[in-house]
């Protein structure tokens, strides 16, 4: 019977083959990351010249390790990897992370080594992540095998599958330092000679710690299998994918990156639509959509109310809504009356809502508070995108009140963006994000994100 990949995410023991005493070297950083995250299992460094590394007893060879080690992390040059893999299998390890590069993505010699690894996997049944991966992360197990200095990784309920090393390295560092959300699992597929996206997606689809899944892929290994798995998972969890290699230039770059062979993009597009996967085209949306999924609910539909302090912004954002297949519904008469009771009466209020019409009578603070409350409570509205104007000489909207409004409407996302004084914006956005409000620094971003969330909702609600 083929082993499952569960052990990668909940191992009781790890061996780091190629452990190093030198700070900054991959074999040292992996150990430091494990210690920083408080991994509770046994960790066994393997280094023929060290007795101890970072307070952990080191072992000279793989054969000298204690019996029963569950996961091996091999951080050796490509040429040494096949022999190390054989020794790990002989020692009884059933799950291996191959972190080295220099395989089929590099040259023919590397391709031959990768083929040798594939034969070992076929002959022994060992499960392998990689090669050419920077590792994986499982915050429920307080574990990361990344060789990038991450420190403690913030737990959350989003999971990433990535055919690139950077999600376990510098992109994760960006999320940890610039965002306020965390992750459950991160799966770095690398050249995916064994574990590939279909199996990873199936695992995360059943994972109670994962509520939404974001994917970066350069190729789909088994399209028919992926279609079946994704069609099941997208009925109960949002699945978002950035599938690159849509152009000749992108396909050539993918071959150099992970030896990925491109597929006609229109076929990929059709497969993802059929599977219920929301496709995105911008790398930054992997983070922006993750931010929204961590702080806001999925909308029940695509009816959006937009608020801004500028007619030009409202016209531009209205055009964007149509391009993104978002609807701008008519507000209920009661909502219009509520808005007009706070306005100076010189602008006819409708959706999109011109906040400036309210400021002349009640001031900027109350204009936003009343305007957002009115449209959030409107039954014709599924989501709200508000552009807040913030300056040092004007009283800003109450964050606690905005949070209360969001909590009173638990099925409606409230997404905020900003204009005005940059220093005020940075301060307000940081405080709002810490409280759990979804904030974005560009006025178009909330609508771009909402279009993705709406597609996820349609997938989850589609008939059987």
**What contacts 445, CB < 8 A, 6 or more positions away?**
288, 417
% residues pLDDT > 70 (the chain): 95
Residues of the chain with pLDDT under 70: 1, 246-263, 344-347
Angle between helices 333-340 and 356-376 (to 10 degrees): 140
Length of the chain: 464
- 297-461 classified as CATH 3.40.50.300: no
Nearest to 330 by CA among 303, 368, 312: 303
pLDDT tens per residue, range 159-194: 999 998 888 899 999 999 999 999 999 999 999 999
Superfamily of domain 6-293: Succinyl-CoA synthetase domains (3.40.50.261)
Angle between helices 108-124 and 81-90 (to 10 degrees): 10
**DSSP conformational letter for 152:** S
Q: Name the H helices within 91-169.
A: 108-124
Beta bridge partners of 96: 72, 128
Helices and strands: H and E segment counts in the chain = 16, 19
Instruction: Give the strand pairing for 136-138 and 127-129.
Output: unpaired
Beta bridge partners of 136: 187
Q: What is the pLDDT of residue 255?
A: 47
Sign of CA dihedral 25, 155, 58, 74: negative
pLDDT tens per residue, range 284-298: 999 999 999 999 999
Q: What is the pLDDT of residue 346?
A: 56
22 burial class (0-12, 13-18, 19+ CB within 10 angstroms)? exposed
**What six digits make up the tokens of 227?**
């279609």
CA–CA distance, 198 with 224 (Å, rounded to integer): 10
Q: What is the pLDDT of residue 258?
A: 46
**What six digits make up the tokens of 265?**
């993009």
pLDDT tens per residue, range 78-130: 999 999 999 999 999 999 999 987 778 878 888 899 999 999 999 999 999 99
CB hemisphere CA count around 20 (13 angstroms): 14
CA–CA distance, 291 with 113 (Å, rounded to integer): 40
Q: For the chain, first and last CA: distance in Å?
A: 31
| CATH topology agreement for domains 6-293 and 297-461 | yes
Q: What is the pLDDT of residue 102?
A: 79
- Quickly count: other Cβ atoms within 10 Å of residue 6's Cβ: 13
Query: Where do the structural domains in the chain lie, given as residue ranges?
Result: 6-293, 297-461
């Amino acid at each position: 019977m083929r082993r499952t990949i569960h052990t990668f995410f909940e191992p009781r023991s790890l061996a780091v083959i190629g452990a190093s005493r030198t700070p900054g070297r991959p074999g040292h950083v992996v150990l430091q990351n494990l210690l920083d995250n408080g991994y509770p299992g046994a960790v066994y460094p393997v280094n023929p010249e060290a007795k101890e590394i970072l307070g952990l007893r080191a072992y000279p060879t793989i054969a000298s390790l204690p019996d029963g080690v569950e996961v091996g992390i091999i951080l050796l040059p490509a040429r040494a990897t096949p022999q190390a893999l054989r020794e790990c299998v002989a020692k009884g390890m059933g799950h291996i992370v191959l972190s080295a590069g220099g395989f089929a993505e590099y040259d023919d010699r590397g391709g031959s080594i990768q083929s040798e690894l594939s034969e070992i996997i076929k002959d022994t049944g060992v499960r392998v992540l990689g090669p050419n991966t920077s590792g994986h992360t499982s915050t429920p197990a307080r574990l990361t095998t990344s060789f990038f200095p991450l420190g403690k990784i913030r737990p959350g309920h989003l999971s990433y599958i990535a055919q690139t090393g950077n999600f376990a390295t510098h992109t994760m560092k960006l999320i940890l330092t610039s965002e306020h959300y965390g992750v459950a699992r991160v799966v770095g597929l690398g050249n995916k000679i064994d574990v590939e996206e279909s199996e990873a997606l199936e695992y995360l689809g059943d994972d109670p710690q994962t509520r939404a899944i974001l994917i970066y892929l350069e190729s789909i290994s088994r399209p028919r299998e992926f279609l079946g798995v994704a069609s099941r998972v997208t009925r109960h969890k949002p699945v978002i994918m950035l599938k690159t290699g849509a152009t000749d230039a992108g396909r050539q770059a993918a071959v150099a990156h992970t030896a990925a062979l491109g597929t006609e993009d229109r076929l990929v597009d059709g497969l993802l639509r059929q599977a219920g996967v929301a496709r995105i085209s911008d790398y930054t949306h992997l983070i922006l959509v993750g931010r929204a999924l961590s702080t806001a609910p999925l909308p029940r539909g695509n009816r959006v109310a937009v608020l801004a302090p500028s007619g030009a912004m409202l016209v531009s954002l209205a055009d964007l809504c149509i391009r993104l297949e978002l609807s701008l519904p008519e507000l209920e008469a009661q909502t219009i009356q509520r808005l007009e009771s706070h306005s100076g009466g010189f602008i006819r209020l409708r959706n999109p809502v011109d906040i400036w019409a309210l400021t002349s009578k009640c001031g900027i603070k109350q204009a936003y508070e009343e305007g957002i409350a009115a449209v959030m409570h409107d039954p014709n509205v599924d989501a709200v995108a508000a552009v807040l104007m913030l300056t040092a000489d004007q009283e800003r909207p109450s964050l606690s009140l905005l949070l209360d409004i969001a909590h009173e409407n638990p099925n409606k996302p409230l997404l905020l963006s900003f204009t005005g004084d940059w220093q005020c914006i940075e301060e307000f956005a940081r405080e709002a994000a810490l409280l759990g409000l979804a904030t974005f620094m560009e006025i178009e971003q909330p609508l771009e994100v909402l279009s993705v969330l709406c597609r996820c909702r349609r997938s989850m609600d589609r008939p059987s």
